[in-house]
């Protein structure tokens, strides 16, 4: 993995089982379940996942960058005018945070370190 490269894309979904069935049958994607609210996919050209969404899905994609040092890249983002929208949190396999760029686009950065 390379620092600051797009590594993952995350979508919102109201019905994870139906979503999984659709992408498996239509495109041959494979899935790994991570509890009742998250499924990861591969065999799609780019790794990603679907997170359970209770609210209506408006913009269902979250682009996730990779960086081995979350504190360092978070500081760089803030120095350049980015706003941290979700502080660093842990999940199975690593940690991440979300930020908004100066025009309001939300992205995330994750690390397995």
The reported pLDDT for the residue numbered 8 is 93
Can you list the alpha helix ranges (DSSP code H) found in the chain? 16-27, 70-79
Superfamily for the 6-111 domain: 2,3-Dihydroxybiphenyl 1,2-Dioxygenase, domain 1 (3.10.180.10)
The reported pLDDT for the residue numbered 33 is 96
The reported pLDDT for the residue numbered 55 is 80
The reported pLDDT for the residue numbered 49 is 94
pLDDT in tens, 8-28: 999 988 889 999 998 998 889
pLDDT in tens, 50-71: 999 888 777 778 999 999 999 9
Burial class (CB in 10 A: 0-12, 13-18, 19+), 97: buried
């Amino acid at each position: 993995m390379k620092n600051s490269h797009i590594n993952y894309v995350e979508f919102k979904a109201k019905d994870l089982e139906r979503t999984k069935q659709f992408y498996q049958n239509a495109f041959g994607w494979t899935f790994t379940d991570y509890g009742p609210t998250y499924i990861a996919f591969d065999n799609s050209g780019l790794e990603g996942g679907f997170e359970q969404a209770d609210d209506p899905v408006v913009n269902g994609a979250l682009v996730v960058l990779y960086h081995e040092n979350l504190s360092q890249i978070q500081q760089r983002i803030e120095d350049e005018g980015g706003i941290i929208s979700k502080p660093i949190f842990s999940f199975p396999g690593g940690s991440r945070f979300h930020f908004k760029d100066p025009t309001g686009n939300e992205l995330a950065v994750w690390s397995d370190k």
